[in-house]
Structure 1
């Protein structure tokens, strides 16, 4: 297995850690470069540019979000806080001896394709040559700000800069955007601001964090696997029973069926809307001084506009044409493999409707086995190369996602898992089994002792 050339991994966050463990387990030489002083990526609020705020929690539950063979602690709540997630990542890195393979405080400034691989230039001024490059730098670093007619005389900034509800005190606050972060921040504003509003472009389905006392994703995972068209009808009916008619709270009626957008897992916002602590508004029409005009003709005086309007996906150390981009997303096979360059991979450049970290280990293993197959050549390499070049599986799971840039490369988690199984069967690769990383963990424990 040491025939594989050395691999450069950019990023020591959740994806980079999964890659490091898989490469160690399969004997692939590699280096991870992390520009911050420790592991954790965006979950470390001291990492410059991290979007993590004090009240941030996982929206997937602990039993559906952990790494393979490494459960979250039993005393963690159903939905861990950002501090607990960071502690979990530190424990993961220590348990498998990953830190010695990571160069901290070292940024990859440029990765340029050479005939034999990649020449990587570091922030230290060094250059290193690698056979393969894996981009695991994450997607929530480059804020996307909306543009509206007029000018706003108050304070307007992206939610990336938000940390604490204390900054809302004494202010009239408008949160633009109804993703999970936007809804969390709106709940903070409802508790702390003098007046609070949330602006949404469309109506959404709100999924409660618990259904019959069970975390929503665990409830879904434990139930029968229904055809998607039936699941949408059944779960849509359940939500109507649990939440009632959301238009009574000033929210718009959804223009799509449940699951056709990234799920909003939040019941607090509905609570605060029902109590009048925050008001729902439609999209912004224009600004005029401190007055914000909305498309329904209403207007409000606002001191602070906080835009929870998402992020641009970027890989700043690569030439723009290194990936083929569509709708602001790289066009990758299985969201992992460059179709054009056999030495270029990515992990973490995807969105799905479930806990991604449970997928990261399987995805990292697929990358690792592909690197080994290509190093060894032969029929196995030919097989994976043909799939990467020609195969375009339907990963929607039968869902007709709304036509937004965010959903251009969106995958339904069960459809993605099924496709990974098909890929492994076709190539004769084993699935990850319980205990498959035990030897690596035991070795790390002995070395630490």
Structure 2
């Protein structure tokens, strides 16, 4: 280890993952600097953060009791599914409660990070150059819009959903929303209420999970309900959804071509309502654009003024040379979706998707990263053993689900399987489990 490299970590980003890392490092005594290019914490949840995909009607698709930081529940006054503004307020309260603001350098981006002489040379947007032993990439995945190209010419407007903020943008227009992910469905519901005419284009059919099941948030119902083998869960839950939603093809939607939970869940109760009332019309995949119309692959046409593409985002870590990560299908190949397989001083947090609440998971992931850093800092046999695991181990994180074959699902994990794998990793490395009381004591110390 070069003499000029201090035992300090560099965290890139003060969004949900970066804040979990900052709190955990502070708790465990790991020296770190956290850099945030914006003027405050919040990441994508801050609509004023340039490039944020946040829109006025955005809400959590996880309920407040299933997705919050450990030891810091969301306010009782919050609804089951908090709004984007409430999530931002919650995150800033979290940062204040644990004294994280003073550990974050704002209005400062990481321009580049190069691994050389046993450490990271980090160049900041203000021109400063600093040395770090460890680099943790927590910059998020929803910043680089994936905008498809269409055949033909179009007299209207085509743009990505990252540019969308308010239903007022739809007034007086005939709007086509392409993509039926959770954001696409939210935006399509806005169009159903505000546009002169509204359409949603889907390439495949999906299972729509209501936000409430039998009077409880869907994830609370799943958490409290009987825990069955995944094959049986898919059968039973598929039957429940058919009982509640009926045959979705009656609304013009294509029939799902996969089992329940084989793709990221669409948690939305409104879109089916608007489809059944004729406020929006379901269409198939787009074939081409033709002057004032959009032509679909079934040969049908619709006159459209605005095509809004809710077509996802490219994952990118622009400040690190691509060779530092092994990329597959646009996703970094990481052990446990956290650890570089080649470099024990390189980590990423937030580069995965799962079917459960993220924030508690971020706390556990941040703790695992911290344990690996502590092992590397002490330079003993534990670090060598973990490096061997990171290079070769590929635990099955599917939970028995055969996911849809898409780039999006290349790093998709079943939350139960992931939590089981985390416990297994802690046991094999003899790392302690998280104790929520430590966070509560930390908060009390900050308050004093």
Instruction: Tell me the TM-score normalised to structure 2 length.
Output: 0.98
Does structure 2 retain, via aligned residues, the 8 Å contact 1:4–1:29?
no
1:250 and 2:288 matched: no
Match of 2:344 among 342, 358, 363: 342
1:314 and 2:312 matched: no
Runs of 4+ in 1 over 6 A off after TM superposition: none
SS in 2 for 1:225: coil
Q: What's the CA shift string for 1:129-162, capped at 9, x where partnerless?
A: 0000000000000000112211222001000000
Q: What is the correspondence of 1:226-375 to structure 2 with a 5 Å cutoff? A: 226-375=228-377
SS in 2 for 1:62: coil
Does structure 1 retain, via aligned residues, the 8 Å contact 2:98–2:446?
yes
SS in 1 for 2:295: strand
Q: What is the rounded CA distance, in whole Å, between the counterparts of 1:280 and 1:4 in structure 2?
A: 57
SS in 1 for 2:416: helix
Q: What is the correspondence of 1:76-87 to structure 2 with a 5 Å cutoff? A: 76-87=78-89
Q: What is the rounded CA distance, in whole Å, between the counterparts of 1:376 and 1:49 in structure 2?
A: 40
Q: What's the CA shift string for 1:55-101, capped at 9, x where partnerless?
A: 00000000011001110001100000000000000000000000100
Does structure 2 retain, via aligned residues, the 8 Å contact 1:11–1:41?
yes
SS in 2 for 1:111: strand
Q: What is the rounded CA distance, in whole Å, between the counterparts of 1:212 and 1:442 in structure 2?
A: 38
Q: What is the correspondence of 1:367-386 to structure 2 with a 5 Å cutoff? A: 367-386=369-388
Does structure 2 retain, via aligned residues, the 8 Å contact 1:175–1:305?
yes
Q: Which residue of 2 aligns with 1:105?
A: 107
Q: What is the rounded CA distance, in whole Å, between the counterparts of 1:235 and 1:338 in structure 2?
A: 36
Does structure 2 retain, via aligned residues, the 8 Å contact 1:4–1:371?
no
Q: What is the rounded CA distance, in whole Å, between the counterparts of 1:127 and 1:336 in structure 2?
A: 26
Q: What is the rounded CA distance, in whole Å, between the counterparts of 2:357 and 2:6 in structure 1?
A: 31
Instruction: Tell me the TM-score normalised to structure 1 length.
Output: 0.98
Q: Which residue of 2 aligns with 1:415?
A: 417
RMSD between superposed Cα atoms in Å:
1.0
Deviation at 1:4, TM superposition (A): 8.0
Q: What's the CA shift string for 1:22-50, capped at 9, x where partnerless?
A: 00010000000000000000000000000
Q: Which residue of 1 aligns with 2:396?
A: 394
- Total equivalences in the alignment: 444
Deviation at 1:378, TM superposition (A): 2.0
Does structure 2 retain, via aligned residues, the 8 Å contact 1:117–1:131?
yes
Deviation at 1:189, TM superposition (A): 0.1
Does structure 1 retain, via aligned residues, the 8 Å contact 2:109–2:125?
yes
Q: Which residue of 2 aligns with 1:193?
A: 195
SS in 2 for 1:63: coil
Q: What is the rounded CA distance, in whole Å, between the counterparts of 1:443 and 1:285 in structure 2?
A: 60
Does structure 2 retain, via aligned residues, the 8 Å contact 1:14–1:41?
yes
1:118 and 2:117 matched: no
Q: What is the rounded CA distance, in whole Å, between the counterparts of 2:369 and 2:303 in structure 1?
A: 52
1:219 and 2:224 matched: no
Does structure 1 retain, via aligned residues, the 8 Å contact 2:6–2:132?
no
Does structure 2 retain, via aligned residues, the 8 Å contact 1:4–1:375?
no
Q: What is the rounded CA distance, in whole Å, between the counterparts of 1:290 and 1:58 in structure 2?
A: 35
Does structure 2 retain, via aligned residues, the 8 Å contact 1:350–1:410?
yes
Q: What is the correspondence of 1:168-187 to structure 2 with a 5 Å cutoff? A: 168-187=170-189
SS in 1 for 2:437: coil
Deviation at 1:116, TM superposition (A): 2.0
Q: Which runs of 5+ in 2 are unaligned?
A: none
Q: Which residue of 2 aligns with 1:90?
A: 92
Deviation at 1:338, TM superposition (A): 0.3
Q: What is the rounded CA distance, in whole Å, between the counterparts of 2:153 and 2:426 in structure 1?
A: 54
SS in 2 for 1:260: coil
Q: What's the CA shift string for 1:312-348, capped at 9, x where partnerless?
A: 0001111111111000000000000000111100000
Q: What is the rounded CA distance, in whole Å, between the counterparts of 1:135 and 1:290 in structure 2?
A: 44
Moved more, 420-429 or 237-246: 420-429
SS in 1 for 2:222: helix
Does structure 1 retain, via aligned residues, the 8 Å contact 2:6–2:131?
no
Q: What is the rounded CA distance, in whole Å, between the counterparts of 2:111 and 2:285 in structure 1?
A: 38
1:133 and 2:123 matched: no
SS in 2 for 1:305: strand
